[in-house]
Structure 1
Amino acid sequence: MHLKQQRKTIYAITIFYTLLIIYFWFFAFGRTDSVDQISEYTFIFLPDAFFRVPGLSDILHPTLMDFVDLGNIAAFIPFGILIPLLYRTSFVRFMTLFILSILVVETIQALTFLGSFDINDVIQNSLGAAIGFGAYKLGFRTKNNWRNITVTGISSAVLMLGVWGVFGMIDQMFTKEIGPFVAINDLKDSTGNTITGTKPSSLKIGGQDVEPQYNVYGIEGNKQETYTYTLGNKELYLSLNYGIPDQKDFQGSIKVTVDGQEFLSVSAEDQLHEPDMRIIYLPQANELTIIIEGNETLWDVGFREMVYTWN
């Protein structure tokens, strides 16, 4: 094929593909139907810790968002190949112009209510273009067009897998996971209380046998006891079990507060005569206060901290 004819063909493909992407940007997925329902501009300037790259488990059990994340990268690989074929350009210049173009499009999406400005999309789209440019540099080195196309396609796939693996590991490093269970009695009570109870062989609540594994908090009669622990400003899930043993009068209460905010308040009148459990998410927890009154019994109180894998 003559060079001028090749250029015309590449130019036509670029125009067609650009129009296709513009269609998906502004008109696909029912965007025009939802314009009247949107009254506020959406601008997301802060990226995720690292934009999400679908992992192997996601590929085996994909969701819609997994396809969107992967598509935001793959759909822009062709631009990294087509544009350098049409115009001589360096990687830095190409990426600078591409990122500026994406920023303009994202802004238009937000201002027209046909989408949102999302910096995560900018990052993903730009990464796709960068992969395409790298594949172009690796593939188009000879005068054999079919060989160039084949090598470029393979290079795109290899680079995509490489980026997927690298950013998948980075994403994993900056994604918190729930840590092991820590019994609350392993911490020091800041009030000096040491009466966390001796773990009995079992409790019977509502006819059910309960066997505490870590700790038991309970008092007799109308007394009230307060326990305060310092958690160290951690993000965690606090878990606790509570109830009134069968052999005791059905009266008492439990109150749990964290940094002065009440997260649990239960009295005997409000609960069923059976064991109950609560798991409370705390984005930042420093001072935990537990107040027990009457015959309420609390057991296996502890937390699982959200931690990075490298902690």
Structure 2
Amino acid sequence: MQLKQHRKMILGLTIGYTLLILYFLFFAFGRLDTVDQITEHTFMFLPDSFFRLPDISELLHPALMDLVGFGNIAAFIPFGILIPLLYQTSFIRFLTGFILSILILETIQALTFLGSFDMNDVIQNASGAAIGFGAYKLGFRTKNDWRNIAAAGISSVVLLLGVWGVFGIVDQVFTKEMGPFVAINEWKDSTGNPSRGTQRYSLSIGGQIVEPQYNVYSIEGKMKEAYTYTLGNKEEIYLYLNYGIPDQKESHGSIRVAVDGHEMLSVYAEAQRHEANMSEILIPQAHELTITLEGNATLWDVGFREMVYFWN
């Protein structure tokens, strides 16, 4: 009799918690208010950031997406405990059935415009359920219900922290970060000869004194000059360059930046006048960088930062 009562209570908890999760999946976060504005189904089959969970500092001042990312795992832990309490099952069978259920729910979300099909969510939800199943196996080993519940709760926290830590390490391993600034201090001019630019010196632009830190490039006594730099097939770099017309010179000149023959930036003196400007250009992939100067245009502190993995 007591066993039946326990089973009914667990079944009631499972049904109630399932309804709560379904509410968040289909109706929370203002989904009904935006459904009329969505015109296309969204299916994201390729996971890309499921290892990205907020760190402790982000959780102290969480944004909505931080809570969603962490909740995608934590909210599904109870299923890994409740379902095995109702039905004797193996880990593989449980996880397979759970993943199939989540896939169906994600598909319904996309088809009803109440969300999107996101493989990241599937992986995170399944990770939460797997943590719960592990907590069930570690916690429910005695005949004392309260002791089992306490042990399962502690196991859930420990396993969640472990998965959180592993996800953080894997995310860092596979996430590129901005590398150090690399100044470009040697070019080849239009004749193919090396050119290190002019020696660094102070500039007065727009009434302000500018002190270049790395390099200065101008074409004193020439009308036009093209400088090239071989990047060596680098991927995902940010090119930085400062430019302007010195105050003591006539506002005449231009700057053009091209990567492998494709123009990325074109600036004329008429637009900039005597003002110091800075450009940041994202270059997805490049072999050769060419910067063409005309007239009195002056460049300084030219360089790049590359997106690299931490081991590089």
TM-score normalised by the shorter chain: which range applies? over 0.9
Following TM superposition, by how much is the alpha carbon of 1:283 offset from its aligned partner in structure 2, in angstroms? 2.2
CA contact (8 A) 2:190 2:225 kept: no
CA contact (8 A) 1:135 1:156 kept: yes
Letter in 2 for 1:135: A
Letter in 2 for 1:27: F
Partner of 1:293: 294
Aligned residue pairs, count: 311
DSSP-derived class of the 1:288 partner: strand
Letter in 2 for 1:272: R
Following TM superposition, by how much is the alpha carbon of 1:303 offset from its aligned partner in structure 2, in angstroms? 0.3
CA contact (8 A) 2:205 2:245 kept: yes
CA distance 1:187–1:180, shift in 2 (3 Å):
farther
Determine whether 1:11 maps to 2:11: yes
Determine whether 1:268 maps to 2:278: no
Partner of 2:64: 64
DSSP-derived class of the 2:94 partner: helix
CA contact (8 A) 1:241 1:300 kept: yes
Partner of 2:39: 39
Q: Which runs of structure 2 are paired with 1:82-97 in the superposition (5 Å)? A: 82-97=82-97
Following TM superposition, by how much is the alpha carbon of 1:125 offset from its aligned partner in structure 2, in angstroms? 0.4
CA distance 1:304–1:189, shift in 2 (3 Å):
farther
CA contact (8 A) 1:199 1:212 kept: no
Determine whether 1:249 maps to 2:250: yes
Report which stretch shifted further, 117-126 or 193-202.
193-202
Letter in 1 for 2:251: F
DSSP-derived class of the 2:282 partner: strand
Following TM superposition, by how much is the alpha carbon of 1:100 offset from its aligned partner in structure 2, in angstroms? 0.6
Unaligned runs of 5+ in 2: none
Determine whether 1:73 maps to 2:94: no
Following TM superposition, by how much is the alpha carbon of 1:190 offset from its aligned partner in structure 2, in angstroms? 9.2
Report which stretch shifted further, 149-158 or 249-258.
249-258
Determine whether 1:162 maps to 2:162: yes
Following TM superposition, by how much is the alpha carbon of 1:49 offset from its aligned partner in structure 2, in angstroms? 4.9
Determine whether 1:27 maps to 2:23: no
- Provide runs of 4+ in structure 1 moved above 3 Å: 186-191
Determine whether 1:55 maps to 2:55: yes
Following TM superposition, by how much is the alpha carbon of 1:248 offset from its aligned partner in structure 2, in angstroms? 2.0
Identity %: 73
Task: State TM-score, norm by structure 2.
Answer: 0.95
Q: Which runs of structure 2 are paired with 1:96-107 in the superposition (5 Å)? A: 96-107=96-107
Q: Which runs of structure 2 are paired with 1:139-154 in the superposition (5 Å)? A: 139-154=139-154
CA contact (8 A) 2:242 2:277 kept: yes
Question: What is the alpha-carbon distance in structure 1 between the residues aligned to residue 197 and residue 9 of structure 2?
Answer: 81
Partner of 2:223: 223
DSSP-derived class of the 1:219 partner: coil
Question: What is the alpha-carbon distance in structure 2 between the residues aligned to residue 37 and residue 230 of structure 1?
Answer: 47
CA contact (8 A) 2:238 2:306 kept: yes
DSSP-derived class of the 1:229 partner: strand
Unaligned runs of 5+ in 1: none
Letter in 1 for 2:254: S
Question: What is the alpha-carbon distance in structure 1 between the residues aligned to residue 70 and residue 64 of structure 2?
Answer: 10
Task: State TM-score, norm by structure 1.
Answer: 0.95
